[in-house]
Structure 1
């Protein structure tokens, strides 16, 4: 595209040309556009200069379009309609939409949310592509930069006004172990936990999270001489749980996915280690005017609410 040609075009000229083509009369075209006849005559002169063609000739039957004007008459309505849609935005049709949306969320959340959400979206927007990212740092910056469309994460201590946020609830932590683990018998205490190795699953932006707690639980979960496994793959962690004496501190809601959590049970954290993690759905203000993003925002919230009711 040669932008040097485009900068010469006044879109009002194309609107005036459309009126002239339809009215075949300068006076009527001027009345239609609420301008004077001399102004419309001057506009016609500018159109002739722009297209290098007389566009109209006079005859006993009025103004007759030239072959070049007839070519323009065929193409102009669609062009003006496209410009109108470009400016005002077209009506959003989920069923016909074919783009991609990028969502950042932890595997903890994804295990519970994604199956019902993807089913809902498939029924309403079958051509929509969803790409999830489970490991991404500085999520607020990524949202602002346009690299992410949505994020679901542990609530952070502060959100700037440029972010649209929605609290989606919290979850108390639990000690996840295999069904026949020794910890399933008797009270769970810090002293007993210290006898078993711990699994730590990666959580994005944990250092920016706002944890509501009564003690420094994250530091107390692991004893200095206690073995550990750190991984960013939740399914790997669950498989290790099923086959070893490791334990995993995590949200109890994760066990709602019965297939993934088969053979695993949730035990209460020690009483003095009570804390909760609040989760947020976040979107940047750049998407505030996007029908797609506003629609998908509502679908995510509706899915989360349905999960809550089912629980």
Structure 2
């Protein structure tokens, strides 16, 4: 039988053949499979046609297998077990899983949840390997093709329909500057921002971010048009530029305390900035829905986020979604 002939094969025929081989009786095989004797007789006819062999010959009240049927009897259990294993849900044992996951974790997000994620994995999936990057030019295409497994980022303006998003948190962005910056202590409007260069992480593209909640359109427009003068994919480089120059650095509110910058950096009170909010999201492709390993890592990240929010006295993610009427 060549590969094109497999289309003619009915799996039920192999199940019936196993029953016939073990029972050596059409009537008993029919009872075992809860079909009529007539239906089993027709099935035997189809089996004889499929294998071009009588398969069984009568002997008294029963049947004896032909040499061809005896050969099939040796291979049939393994075939049926293999098929059964294919259709059963994949078993996943985190403690024994020896594989890797490729994550995109945008900018500063990696600093607060990748280290605790690694600690959790050492306890629950010690053989799993995690590879992280902070940015990519085509992350959604790589999610679709499988070279990226999960993405954690500030929500973008748009996403392909085949991606699933989960909110990880909401924050009001701030504009950081060194404590000796000329703007410190002044009332700052959107136009003052244009006088100073921006430093930006390559993984944090302001122009592509989605902002929420009655944001000042003027401030947003200026921020999106004010192209960063210094771009880097290295967080430490960005922080050193911030500490030693008059550059401004758009960042989330917890950024300064997270990286112990309070001694060197302040958040500037920009008019309209308090109206803005950004949303952190986890992103995965629909093709990995039901994948045990993806579900496992996804759940671990959500567990870490819930723990982090509880430490800060913030509501649970479910409560956050309910409070703000979020769809995801």
TM-score of the superposed pair, with normalisation by structure 1: 0.77
- 1:268 matched to 2:267: yes
Q: Is the 8 A contact 1:194 1:222 kept in 2?
A: no
Q: Deviations over 1:136-158 (max 9, x none)?
A: 34655654565543322222456
Structure 1 unpaired stretches of 5+:
none
Mean Cα deviation higher: 274-283 or 1-10? 1-10
Taking only aligned residues, the RMSD between alpha carbons, in angstroms, comes to 3.8
Residue 66 of structure 1 and its aligned partner are, at CA, apart by 4.2
CA shift at 1:277, angstroms?
Answer: 1.8
Cα deviation code 1:174-222 (max 9, x no counterpart)? 44456xx524995266499778653122246644432133351573599
5+ unaligned residues in a row in structure 2: which ranges?
313-328
Shift of 1:88: 3.7
Q: Deviations over 1:8-49 (max 9, x none)?
A: 321111111121222222111112222222332332233234
Q: 1:239 to 1:206 in 2, by over 3 A?
A: closer
Change (3 A) 1:93 1:157: same
**Paired residues for 1:32-71 under 5 Å:** 32-59=32-59, 62-71=62-71
Q: Is the 8 A contact 2:155 2:279 kept in 1?
A: yes
Contact 1:217 1:273 in 2 (8 A): no
Question: 2:124 aligns to what?
Answer: 124
1:290 aligns with 2:291: yes
CA drift at 1:116: 1.1
Aligned pairs for 1:71-86 within 5 A: 71-86=71-86
Question: Any conservation in 2 of the 1:105–1:132 contact (CA below 8 Å)?
Answer: yes
Equivalent residue for 1:277? Answer: 278
- Tell me the CA shift for residue 71 of structure 1: 4.0
**Correspondence for 2:180:** 182
| Distance in 2, Cα, partners of 1:263 & 1:79 | 66
- Normalized per residue, the structure richer in strand is 1
- How much has 1:301 moved relative to structure 2? 0.9
| Secondary structure at the counterpart of residue 95 of structure 1 | coil
User: Mean Cα displacement is larger for which, 294-303 or 193-202?
Assistant: 193-202
Change (3 A) 1:35 1:61: closer
Instruction: Sort the Cα spacing of 1:99 and 1:245 in 2 relative to 1 into closer, same or farther, 3 A.
Output: same
| Alpha carbons 1:112, 1:254 under 8 Å: kept | no
Q: Which residue of 1 aligns with 2:104?
A: 104
Contact 1:113-1:303 at 8 Å conserved across structures: yes
Change (3 A) 1:198 1:162: closer
Further displaced range: 233-242 or 103-112: 233-242
Question: 1:94 corresponds to which residue?
Answer: 94
Counterpart secondary structure, 1:182: coil
Q: 1:64 to 1:279 in 2, by over 3 A?
A: same
Pick which of 278-287 and 55-64 moved more: 55-64
